[in-house]
Structure formats: structure tokens, C-alpha cells
């Protein structure tokens, strides 16, 4: 059985500045090592599965985005407590 992890989300938007056009996601999954992590980032979706070392559970998350992101410009940072993603929006716009 899988558990949905806590997800924090924030967004910045700009019609003129690509550096200010991001979605920030934090997936709270403590004690998930890089070997127990599966993360697939597509232009319109995110698919995550994590297996922590200290617990007998599986974290599972599927998200569909409102609009496309630029996977090549996006960044992923994995720590012992969470996974932080900075997702670059493909289209410059005031909001998503």
C-alpha cells in the first residue's frame, strides 16, 4: 500500500522574465535514499515513487500540471528530508 507524501507548492510568474517563471515543489519524504527514488518529470506531469529505508511503506505521487514545463531548464535537489524541484514554466505568462 502506498502513502501520499506531503507536498508544498509555490509559483512565480512573469510575462517578460523567464528567470521569474517557476513552480516550486517540495515533496516531504524523509529517509528516502537516491537508490529508493523514482522520479519521472514530463512536460505536463510528475510521477514519483519513494521507498524509505526506515519504514515499511512506499510514497507515491502523481501530479498533472495545468500547462507545460521545460524539463531541461528544471532542477531537482534531493536531501535526506525531502525532494525540492524548481520547475521552469514553458510559456511566459502572468499566472497558470
Domains, in order of start, for the chain: 2-89 (2.60.40.790)
**Average pLDDT in the 65-73 region?**
95
pLDDT for residue 95: 65
Torsions phi, psi of 81, nearest 5?
-105, -30
**Chain segment 74-89, per-residue pLDDT in tens:** 999 999 999 999 999 9
CA distance 93 to 96: 7
**Chain segment 23-68, per-residue pLDDT in tens:** 999 999 999 999 999 999 999 999 999 999 988 899 999 999 999 9
pLDDT for residue 7: 98
Amino acid at each position: 500500500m502506498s502513502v501520499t507524501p506531503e507536498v508544498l507548492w509555490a509559483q512565480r510568474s512573469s510575462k517578460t522574465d523567464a528567470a521569474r517563471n517557476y513552480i516550486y515543489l517540495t515533496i516531504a519524504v524523509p529517509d528516502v535514499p537516491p537508490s529508493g527514488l523514482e522520479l519521472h518529470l514530463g512536460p505536463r506531469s510528475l510521477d514519483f515513487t519513494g521507498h524509505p529505508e526506515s519504514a515499511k511503506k512506499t510514497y507515491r505521487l502523481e501530479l498533472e500540471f495545468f500547462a507545460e514545463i521545460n524539463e531541461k531548464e528544471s532542477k531537482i535537489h534531493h536531501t535526506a528530508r525531502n525532494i525540492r524541484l524548481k520547475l521552469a514554466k514553458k510559456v511566459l505568462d502572468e499566472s497558470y
